[in-house]
Chains A and B, each alone.
Chain A
Amino acid sequence: MPIVSKMGVSQLVKSGLAVVAMLCLFVVGGNVPSEDEMVPILHIQALFQQIQHQEEIEKALLEEMESGQYSLENPLVVVNPYGISPLTALVFFRSSEPLSISVSVQGGREGQDVSFSVGAYATCHLVPIYGLFPGKRNLVTLEAVSKEGEKFQRELQIQTENLPSKLQELVLSASTFVPSQVAEGFNFTFQDDPKVAFDQDGVIRWFLDIPTILPALYQEESDGHFFCTGNYHFGDVIIWEASLLGRISRAFYSPYGVHHDLAVLENGNFLFLGTQGNETMEDFLYEMDMRSGEIVRTLDMREVLDPQRKAPGWTPQDWLHLNAVVPVPGEEAVLLSSRHQSAVVKLGYPSGSLEWILGIPDGWNPTFQQTLLNAVGSRFEWPFTQHAPQILPDQDQNPQTMDLVLFDNGYGRFHREIGEDEEEKMAENPWGEYSRMVHFRVNEVEKTVEQVWQFGKERLDLFSDSRGDANVLKNGNLLGAFNLSFPPSSGVFLEVNPQTREIVWQVEWGYLVYRLERLPLYPKEGFEIPIGEPIKNCIPKEVRQKYGAE
Chain B
Amino acid sequence: MERSKKWMAVFLVVFLFFVLSGCGGDNTRSGEGQVSSPFWEVQVKSWETTSSLKSTQSSVQYNGVIQKVEHEQTPSEGMVFLLLDMVVEKKQAGASVFSWENVFVEDAEGHRFSRHPNDSFLASYDRQRMKGTSLNFGKNEGYVCFEIPEESANGALRLVVLLEQQEHSLEIQ
Contacts and interface: CB of A to CB of B under 8 A. Distances in A.
Given A4-B126, A12-B21, A70 B95 contact: yes
B24 interface: no
Interface in B87-119: 90, 93-95, 117-118
Contacts of A61: 137-138
Nearest to A81: B137
B10 A234 contact: no
A135 B118 CA distance: 9
Interface string B70-102: 000000000000000100001001110000000
B133 A159 contact: yes
B123 A234 contact: no
Given A9-B128, A161-B118, A35 B20 contact: no
Contacts of A8: 127-128, 141-143
The DSSP consensus for interface residues of chain A is loop
B94 A161 contact: no
B57 A4 contact: yes
Interface in A167-197: none
A39 B60 contact: yes
Nearest to B66: A36
B169 interface: no
Interface in A1-48: 1-12, 16, 19-20, 23, 27, 30, 32-36, 38-40, 43
A78 B136 contact: yes
Contacts of A83: 131
B118 A162 contact: yes
A385 to B, nearest CB: 14
A494 to B, nearest CB: 22
Contacts of B90: 60, 64
> Interface range on chain A: under 10, 10 to 19, 20 to 34, or 35 or more?
35 or more
Given A69-B95, A74-B95, A19 B17 contact: yes
A280 interface: no
A473 interface: no
A164 B123 contact: yes
Given A67-B94, A232-B64, A512-B62, A165 B121 contact: yes
B102 to A, nearest CB: 14
Nearest to A514: B62
Contacts of B117: 162
A3 B94 CA distance: 36
B134 interface: yes
B120 A233 contact: no
A27 B7 CA distance: 9
Nearest to B21: A12
Given A3-B58, A63-B93, A57 B121 contact: no
Contacts of A234: 64
B12 A35 contact: yes
Contact of B66 (A39, A66, A70): A39
B120 A165 contact: yes
Contact of B13 (A1, A9, A33, A231): A33
A162 B6 CA distance: 45
5 contacts: A5-B123, A30-B6, A61-B137, A76-B136, A214-B62
- Closest 8 pairs between A and B when the two form their complex, measured CB to CB: A8-B128, A60-B138, A67-B93, A64-B137, A5-B123, A164-B120, A32-B9, A79-B133
Interface of A: 1-12, 16, 19-20, 23, 27, 30, 32-36, 38-40, 43, 56-57, 60-61, 63-64, 66-67, 69-70, 74, 76-80, 83, 135, 159-165, 211, 213-214, 231-234, 467, 512, 514
